[in-house]
Amino acid sequence: MLRIERAILSRLDHPMDFYELVSGLDYDLRSIISALNGLGDRGFIRVRDGLIERTVDFQDRRLTEAALEVVKREFARLTRNRPEPVVRFDQGYVTVESVMNRLRVLDSRDDLAGASLLLVGDDDLTSLAVCLTGLPARVAVAEIDRRLLDFLDQRRQDLPIPLELYEYDVRSPLPAKLLEAFDVSLCDPLETEQGFRLFVMRCREALVGPGSALYFGLTDVECPPERWLGFQEFLVGMGLRITDLWRSLHRYVLPERDFVLEEIEGARKYIRSDGRNSPRIPWYHSSLVRAELVSAHKRFPRVVSEGADIYH
């Protein structure tokens, strides 16, 4: 079932007129009408006395705040003793609250219930939270770090829906089973010129078709405006349009020793050398961007050779 069809059916919890329906949908009118026609032809809806009503059982599977509280508790339990971040892979994971924010966002955009999701890299262990909601149809993780894969593997039996795991380096082609197979793909890409493009390209290749969506995190803290612009040019070239941008949705858990500031010229002046104001708050933040595949474009960038240094 298409995302727009799921969105319509889940909103039709009572008979409503066309205006009430459109009022709560972020789709263009032509797509809505075409989806309504399709649902009507298959007997899922009917129009009576100017009201549109659902004629089939369709469980309104949205993520309530109460359900999210349960997911949060379980997620905190499952991720205790998680592997610590490795600087070599530019890791650094987001807080539990940030992962919950991601779930809220996915749900609000009809990208959770009934959807198939791929995470390209899962340092944040978001896959566990996604599975804990019990809402998606399929969840897969493609990850380079053996430690994380082992950790996820150990947690699998506690999840209400199965979790597929793949050992994967973004510099290699995607496994055939992951190509053009997902409604939604997510990554927290490297922010280097090449690294960002590679991650997003892989997420793009995993999408099943027009209307599917790709999510990525990107921060103003380290990524200068010029690079943000270049990345947006890249997205457009891949046929991806930005549909949503949530500022500072993520906060990060960083190691005590602050390697981010050490790399920046002139920063010393503003931090004490005795470490007395080492970070006490999750100060590092990034935005979450949603981009949607549009049919007309299908350009792909050149492939990066295996073994290339994409971290600098």
What is the spatial distance between Cα 33 and Cα 22, in angstroms, rounded to a whole number? 10
CB of 10 to its own copies, least distance (A): 17
CB of 145 to its own copies, least distance (A): 27
Nearer to its own copies, 31 or 154 (CB): 31
Which DSSP symbol is given to 44? Answer: S
Minimum CB distance to its own copies, residue 220 (Å): 5
Nearer to its own copies, 97 or 167 (CB): 97
* Nearer of residues 229 and 308 to its own copies, judged by Cβ: 229
How buried is 194 (Cβ within 10 angstroms: 0-12 exposed, 13-18 middle, 19+ buried)?
Answer: middle
Enumerate the β-bridge partners of residue 292. 213, 241
Q: Helices 96-108 & 65-78, crossing angle to 10 degrees?
A: 140
Contacts of 221 (CB under 8 A, 6+ apart): 260, 284, 285, 286
Burial 241-271, CB ≥16 within 10 A → b, else e: eeebebeebbbbebeeebebeeeeeeeeeee
Min separation Cβ 309 and its own copies, Å: 23
The residue type of 78 is L
Torsion of CA 103, 132, 201, 142, to 10 degrees: 150
Quote the least distance from Cβ 207 to its own copies, whole Å: 14
Neighbours of 198 (CB within 10 A): 23
**For binding to its own copies (CB under 8 A), which residues are involved?**
17-20, 22-23, 26-31, 33-34, 36-37, 47, 49-52, 210-211, 220-226, 228-229, 232-233, 235-236, 239-245, 247-248, 260-261, 264-267, 269-272, 276-277, 279-285, 292, 294-297
CB nearer to its own copies: pick between 18 and 166: 18
Nearer to its own copies among residue 40 and residue 85 (C-beta)? 40
Q: Which amino acid is at 156?
A: R
Query: Counting beta carbons within 10 angstroms of the beta carbon of residue 2, is it exposed (0 to 12), middle (13 to 18) or buried (19 or more)?
Result: middle
Task: Report, in Å, the least distance between residue 89 CB and its own copies.
Answer: 21
Minimum separation from the CB atom of position 203 to its own copies (A): 17
Closest CB to its own copies among residues 29, 86: 29
* Spatial CB neighbours of 264, under 8 Å, sequence gap ≥ 6: none
Strands (E), 115-239: 116-120, 138-143, 164-167, 184-187, 213-218
Q: Which is nearer to its own copies, 177 or 276 (CB)?
A: 276
What's the closest the beta carbon of residue 219 comes to its own copies, in angstroms?
A: 8
Nearer to its own copies, 146 or 268 (CB): 268
